[in-house]
Amino acid sequence: MAKRILIVEDERPLSRALQLKLQHEGFTAKIASNGQQCMNLINAEDFDVILLDMMMPVMDGFSVLKELQGRPTHPTVFVLSNLSQREDEDRVLAAGAKKYFIKADTPLSVIIEEVKKA
């Protein structure tokens, strides 16, 4: 059975590019455009990995991480953000994210390889 990936990203071209690349690699990938949609999908379905943006409308990535912390189990979370301050990275890693990628500096192929390892 293919790993199920949830892409939580409000930049439509990026989320669609990630979805297509992940599907090409054999994963099942769904998209949520904000944190609230993410939580709705997590409550309805099981996912193995979440690719989570930090700055989104309705509910940001920090709030999603906080919600996930309160659960006994949750998917592996990789953060994709353009926030490049060390404090932001430390904050999301402390909140349970496995890795932090700066979108502008990270090729999609690197993200896909990390998903494969997860």
The number of domains in the chain is 1
Contacts of 16 (CB under 8 A, 6+ apart): 31
**Distant-in-sequence, close-in-space partners of 88: CB < 8 Å, separation ≥ 6:** 54, 81, 100
Helix 35-44 crosses helix 61-69 at what angle (to 10 degrees)? 30
Residue 75: both structure tokens together: 């998917």
What digits encode the pLDDT tens for the residues 18-76? 999 999 999 999 999 999 999 999 999 999 999 999 988 889 999 999 999 888 778 99
Domain of 87 in residue numbering reads as 4-117
State the Cα–Cα distance between residues 6 and 118, nearest whole angstrom.
13
Task: Find the CATH number of the domain harbouring 15.
Answer: 3.40.50.2300
pTM, rounded to two decimals: 0.92
